Structures are given as C-alpha cells and as structure tokens.
Amino acid sequence: MVSLGLVYGVTDVEGTLVVEMTLTTPGCPAAESLPELARAAVADAVGSTVPVDVRVVWEPPWSPAMMDAEAAGALGFRVR
C-alpha cells in the first residue's frame, strides 16, 4: 500500500497510531478490506498493545503518479 502511494501518513495521537490512507477511487472494490489490512499490518509491526486507527481520506486525490517507480513499472505504468 505504501509503494502504491495509498498511505499518506502515520502519526501518534495520544498513544494511538493514526494511519491516513486513501483508495484509488471511492468505488474501489477493495474499499472494505484495504483499511483493515493496513490496520493489521501496522498492528503486527508495532505490537498488539498499541491501538491503530485507519482513516480513509480523499484529499489529495490518488493518482498513479503517487506510486513508487518499482510499483509503477510492475503494473505497466510508465516510470517517471
């Protein structure tokens, strides 16, 4: 998700890790699963005692330009 440019930031808000992420479109078929997958990945990385709150945001809108070069190339996008 990070290499796709979907994660905009992770901050500590009073002991809770808040992940701000987006989806490729509001109608993304993975809209229900991706935020939970992100929450589980962060919880695995930091330990289950740290609360994780994943927030889906729409600003700025996602675009393929947000992907890193390796992910873009693997998905057939022209690498910038």
Q: Is residue 30 part of a domain?
A: yes
Q: Is residue 1 part of a domain?
A: no
Please, which pLDDT band fits residue 80 given cuts at 50, 70 and 90?
low
Q: Is residue 55 part of a domain?
A: yes
Q: Is residue 79 part of a domain?
A: no
* Domain span including residue 64: 7-74
pLDDT tens across 8-48, in order? 999 999 999 999 999 999 899 999 999 999 999 999 999 88
Please, which pLDDT band fits residue 3 given cuts at 50, 70 and 90?
confident
Q: Is residue 44 part of a domain?
A: yes
CATH number at residue 67: 3.30.300.130
pTM value? Answer: 0.84
Three-state SS letters, 38-71: HHHHHHHHHCCCCCEEEEECCCCCCCHHHCCHHH
Domain count, the chain: 1
Q: Is residue 2 part of a domain?
A: no
